[in-house]
Amino acid sequence: MRPLTIAILAGEPSGDNLGAPLIRAIKAKHPDARFVGIGGAAMIREGLESWVDMERLSVNGFVDPIKRLPELYRILMTTRDRVVAEAPDCFVGVDFNFFNLLLERMLRNRGVKTVHYVSPTVWAWRKWRIRSIAKSVDLMLALYPFETGVYEENGIDVAFVGHPKADEIDPSPVDKRLPREQLGLPADAPVVAVLPGSRGSEVAYTGPDFLNAAVLIAEAMPDARFVIPSANEKRKAQLEEMVARLESNISVAILDGDAMRAMQAADVVLVNSGTATLEAMLLKKPMVMSYRLGAMTYAIVSRLVTTPYFALPNILARRALVPELIQDRATPEALSAAVLDLLRQDGHDALFAEFDRIHTSLRRDAAASAAEAILSRFAPETHGAAD
Instruction: Read off the pTM.
Output: 0.88
* pLDDT band for position 381 (cuts 50, 70, 90): low
> Can you give the pLDDT at residue 251?
93
DSSP state of 5: E
What domains sit in the chain, N to C, each tagged with a CATH number? 5-162+364-378 (3.40.50.2000), 177-362 (3.40.50.2000)
% of the chain surpassing 90 pLDDT: 78
How many alpha carbons lie under 13 Å from residue 82 in its C-beta half-sphere? 18
Whether residue 225 is predicted with pLDDT greater than 90 in this model: the reply is yes
pLDDT digits (tens, 9 = 90+) for 160-195: 999 999 999 999 888 999 999 999 999 999 999 999
User: Comparing C-alpha atoms, which of 313, 269, 292 is closest to residue 165?
Assistant: 313
Strands 139-142 and 48-53: unpaired
> Can you give the pLDDT at residue 334?
98
% of the chain surpassing 70 pLDDT: 93
* pLDDT band for position 132 (cuts 50, 70, 90): very high
Whether residue 60 is predicted with pLDDT greater than 60 in this model: the reply is no
118: left (phi over 0), alpha (psi -120 to 50) or beta: left
* Better-scored residue on pLDDT, 68 or 123: 68
Whether residue 297 is predicted with pLDDT greater than 80 in this model: the reply is no
